[in-house]
Amino acid sequence: MIVCHCQSITSSDIHAAIDWMRASDPQTLITPGKVYHALGKAADCGACMPLFLSTMRQNDNLEIPMQLRTLRQRAQPRANTGERS
C-alpha cells in the first residue's frame, strides 16, 4: 500500500527499513526521520504522517530497546530555582 504519495513510499518500504535498522543496530531508536533517511528520501508535505506512524507502529521491531525503557524513571528531576545561569 502506498503510504507517502509525494515520495512513493509503501508500507513494505517502511517495514523493510525498520527491520534493516533493527538488525544493524538493536539499540537504535527508530523515528520517522530515520526511516525516511534509510530510504534515501525526505518528508515533503507531511500529509502522510498519521498513516506513516500507524504503519511504523504495526512493526514488531519498532519497540524501544529494554535498556532504554527506564531512562525517564532514572532521570533526576531538576529543581526550578528561578535563577538563570
Q: What are the tens digits of pLDDT across the range 28-77?
A: 889 999 999 999 999 999 999 999 999 999 999 998 777 777 777 766 66
What does the domain layout of the chain look like in residue ranges? 2-64
Task: Provide the 8-state DSSP code for 65.
Answer: P
Residue 30 and residue 44: Cα distance in Å, rounded?
Answer: 19
Residue 83 and residue 52: Cα distance in Å, rounded?
Answer: 42
Residue 10: strand pairing partners: 2
Residue 61 and residue 34: Cα distance in Å, rounded?
Answer: 14
The verdict on pTM exceeding 0.95 is no
